[in-house]
Structure formats: structure tokens, C-alpha cells
Amino acid sequence: MSKMNHLLLLSFVIFPILVTAKTEIKELKSEKITVSVYYFPNYHTKDARNIKNKGENWSEWELIKAAKPRFLGHDQPKAPLWGYTDEKQPQVMAQKIEAATDNGIDCFIFDWYMYQDGPFLNRCLDEGFLKAKNVGKINFALMWANHDWNEIHPYTRGAPQKLLYPGKVSAKRFDEICDLLISQYFTKPNYWKIDGKAYFSIYDIQKFMDGFGSIEATKAAMKRLNDKSVAAGLKGVHWNIVAWGRPILPVEKVPANYTELIKLLGFDSATSYVWVHHVGLPDRQTDFNKARDEYFTFWEKAKKEFSVPYFPNVSMGWDPSPRCDLKSEWGNFGYPFTNTIGNNTPENFKKALQMTKDKMLLDPKGPRIMNINSWNEWTEGSYLEPDIKNKFGYLEAIKDVFK
């Protein structure tokens, strides 16, 4: 065989192998998992409602500053590495965006508060995040935190629960909210869209339905928002439902059947907000790994029972003791007096992230979206922002697994 013929033969053998290898590499790269993180916006001063109830310069940082250990080995108070920053300032949000994107986070899902009589805690998003110089580096979306807002900042054990802002809104008010959602958020270039549809998540489906009076009226309202979004140039709304099996807040009531509601109302996906919506906390400091394993059991159940993709959750921790009045006896008496999650080291958090990623990739037809609780739920002990003790440990865990 001539040298030329030999080279030609080799090319016929090797070229398909190279093509196959490139194809496999491309397929592996397509396994990118979108990492979204919940953001709780109560760390800025001069919110109109907070001024009325708490004073002009109050933010939830005040509870963090005042926190104390409530039992032996209790890791309180928490101390933010960046200091007690004001999130309504664009430069503050720019720092957060930079840290998030540097460490593998793709999207902030803002807890969004909109009531019958107007917004609450909106200055972080509207004045801080959306005006940050680097806002285009990260996507954002909204989870309508439409639960009743009770006075629990802090809460005195045994005191009557004081309702400040009811979560239910009327059909007419919802139509006004639809117009606001589209004009101020959905049409932003970095608003998170799934298959061209704006992601919009509902925290409390029961409260959402209460405002319309029936499943049929709720479905019609959802269609109106979808139609308005299409008219604005989008492909519609990606409706996401937050499913929870264990109430946390004293105002929460678990719907009878999430599986049925998902089908009847036409949701596109389901997810969770925090592990403790599905996990029992039998010990004063329930081990993080034990909580993780119990959540994974729920995840398997959700995958089988829900008729839509379920986006898994990883929680960094749980400790709402800063919301408990320091003069009250501490114990497992009901939110915010609850047991906590302990041993939630950056190493254990990283292991939970890796296990979640591996589990997702084992399902070739499963979703490639997950979320984390939380960027800054400091007063519930679940935050990614750097603190004095762990520095950037939790963010670096995300980077190591997903970036």
C-alpha cells in the first residue's frame, strides 16, 4: 500500500472518531445547569412601610446586629463580611452581582411583594439592582411572595399575631399588577425567560386563588397575564408554582392537592423555596446532611407525582432565631421559635450541591434548572453572602461545582 493510500485509510478511520468525540463533548457542554438563587429584599432603609412600622433607618440588619446565642453551641450572631450594606444603592448591588456571577450563579429570583394597596420592599430591585452598572451580567426573575405579612420582626412569644398586609388581591388589582409586571420587569433584556416565556413564580397558591374566588377565575386571570405578555412581544409566561408540604409562617395553609392544582391551572413547572417546607427538624440543631437526605426523598416523590418538571432546591441552612424577641424563652414553639439546621459547613453545602447536580444529570429528560435558598436570608440562617466566619466559602462551593 502506498503512503498516500495509507494516510487516506487512516483518515477514514480516525475522522469519524474525532467527529464522534466532538459530538460527545458538545453534548456534555449542553448539560449546563442554570443556577438561580432566591433574594430577600429587606436589607435597605427608608422603605415606606418599614418607616411607618419601624422607623426611617430600620432594616432587617437590626435583627442581625441584636442576635445572641440561644443555646449551647448556637452560632449567633452572624456578621456580614461586607458590613451592613444598603441594597437600594446601585453600587452595593453591583458588588453582589459581581460576586454572584464570579461564582457560578446565573439568576437572582427576587422575593417580590405586591399588595392590594401597593408595593413593599421594592427599592432594592427598582433602585439598586436594576440601576447597577453591571446589571446585564446576570438574569433576574420574580417570585411573588404573596403571603400575608405579619409582625414578626421580632416576635414576642405568645403575643397575638398582628396582620400588617394581607396577601390576597382582587381580580381588578391583579390586572393592574399584570401591566406593571410586563412594563417594568418581563420586557427587560435580562429578565429570565424559559423558551421565550417570562418566568413568574407563585409562592402561596392558596392565597393566589383566594383573590379570584375559584379555580376557573384563577385560570382566566393567569391567561390574561399570558395574553398581555404575548402582546408585548414575549412568547408568554412560564408559570412556576412553589410547592410546600409543611407550613413555616403562622399564616401558611398547605393546599389539599398540589398535583391536581398544577394540572387544573396549567402551571409549567414546580419548585421549592427552602428544605424545611419538606423536612422535619427533630433536634435543636438537626444535622444538615440528615435534612438533605429527607429533602431528597421529597424530591423523588415530586418527580413522580407532579405532571410538570420539578426544579430542585438546595438550602444553605435554617435558623430564624434572630426574629425571636430576646426577652422570650427560646424553644421549638412554632415560627420563628423553631429548631435549626446545624453542621451546614461550606463543605457539607458543597457536597449537597454536587449530589444535586449528579442526580439531575442522571435523568436525561429532566430539567437543567435548580435554585438555592438563599442569597441573603440572614434572619433565617440561610445565606450565601460572605460572612466573617466562612468568608466566601458558600459561594466558592457553588463555583467549584457549577462553574
Q: In one letter, which amino acid is 158?
A: G
Q: In one letter, which amino acid is 145?
A: A
What pLDDT sits at residue 116? 97
Separation between Cα atoms, residue 377 and residue 380, nearest integer Å: 5
Strands 340-342, 285-287: pairing kind:
parallel
What pLDDT sits at residue 23? 35
Q: Are 59 and 65 in contact (CB under 8 A)?
A: no
What pLDDT sits at residue 28? 38
The average pLDDT across 175-186 equals 98
What pLDDT sits at residue 143? 98
Under the banding of pLDDT at 50, 70 and 90, the label for residue 252 is low
Q: Are 298 and 339 in contact (CB under 8 A)?
A: no
Under the banding of pLDDT at 50, 70 and 90, the label for residue 248 is confident
Closest to 296 (Cα-Cα) out of 238, 378, 362 = 362
Under the banding of pLDDT at 50, 70 and 90, the label for residue 25 is very low
The average pLDDT across 383-403 equals 97
Predicted confidence (pLDDT) at residue 184 exceeds the cutoff of 50: yes
What pLDDT sits at residue 6? 45
Closest to 130 (Cα-Cα) out of 110, 106, 100 = 110
Mean pLDDT of all residues in the chain? 92
pTM over 0.85: yes
For 36-402, CATH number? 3.20.20.80
Q: Are 252 and 351 in contact (CB under 8 A)?
A: no
What are the residue ranges spanned by the domains of the chain?
Answer: 36-402
Q: What are the grid coordinates assigned to 200, written together?
A: 413568574
Predicted confidence (pLDDT) at residue 135 exceeds the cutoff of 50: yes
| Least confident segment among 18-27, 50-59, 184-193, 239-248 | 18-27
Q: Which residues contact 22 (CB under 8 A, 6 or more apart)?
A: none
Q: How far is CA 79 from CA 62, 303, 354, 378, in A?
A: 12, 38, 27, 9
What pLDDT sits at residue 4? 39
Under the banding of pLDDT at 50, 70 and 90, the label for residue 7 is very low
Tell me how crowded residue 74 is: count the other CB atoms within 10 A of its CB.
17
pLDDT digits (tens, 9 = 90+) for 191-242: 999 999 999 999 999 999 999 999 999 999 999 999 999 999 999 999 999 9
The average pLDDT across 377-398 equals 98
Predicted confidence (pLDDT) at residue 66 exceeds the cutoff of 80: yes
Tell me how crowded residue 52 is: count the other CB atoms within 10 A of its CB.
10
What pLDDT sits at residue 251? 67
Closest to 84 (Cα-Cα) out of 299, 387, 371, 403 = 387
The average pLDDT across 275-284 equals 96
Predicted confidence (pLDDT) at residue 379 exceeds the cutoff of 50: yes
The average pLDDT across 293-311 equals 96
What pLDDT sits at residue 256? 59
Separation between Cα atoms, residue 238 and residue 346, nearest integer Å: 33
Predicted confidence (pLDDT) at residue 155 exceeds the cutoff of 70: yes
Predicted confidence (pLDDT) at residue 20 exceeds the cutoff of 60: no
